[in-house]
Amino acid sequence: MGKSTRLALEKLFTTYIHDLPAEELTKIEGSVTYKYIGKHENIHLLGDAIDHIYAIASGLVRCFYLDHDGNDITHMFLREQQFCYGEELIGNLPVYLCYETLTDCIQLFSPECRRTIFRFPTNVQ
């Protein structure tokens, strides 16, 4: 991976994790893959089982849920340098939020992301 990838990963992970050791960042960097996702595609749908964490490398994603009447309600938006995961990962539960791209997106994935996030103290309140 190039220097720009390393800098992007450092920015992404230091936003969420206190004092990430350089060797952890190197593990992540060595296993990163990117996936292009077109505008208005679904990343996850209600009930999907997921066991990994994505980061948004570029683009905008809308997270929403369905209310009791079947209306979709926007929960939040994710943009570049934000992680796309929820509490479902802690207990490997089905997804209760749907994730839809609002623009063309590039999604970053590394199998090391989940292990790293759950091993180190985060900046998330």
Provide the pLDDT confidence category of residue 71 given band limits of 50, 70 and 90.
Answer: very high
CATH code reported for the domain at 35-108: 2.60.120.10
Instruction: Average the pLDDT over 67-79 and give the result.
Output: 91
Does residue 82 surpass a pLDDT of 70? yes
Does residue 91 surpass a pLDDT of 60? no
- Measured CA to CA, the distance from residue 121 to residue 39 in angstroms comes to 34
Q: Quickly tell me which residue has 């960097």 as its tokens.
A: 29
- Measured CA to CA, the distance from residue 59 to residue 23 in angstroms comes to 28
Give me the residues paired with residue 67 across strands: none
Provide the pLDDT confidence category of residue 96 given band limits of 50, 70 and 90.
Answer: confident
pTM above 0.95, yes or no: no
Q: Quickly tell me which residue has 């997921």 as its tokens.
A: 50
**pLDDT at position 74:** 95
Looking at 43-57, 59-73, 81-95, 104-118, which range is the least confident one?
A: 81-95
**pLDDT at position 47:** 74
Residue ranges per structural domain of the chain: 1-32+110-125, 35-108
Instruction: Average the pLDDT over 64-71 and give the result.
Output: 90
The Cα-based distances of 44 to 7, 20, 119 in angstroms read: 27, 28, 24
Does residue 125 surpass a pLDDT of 50? no
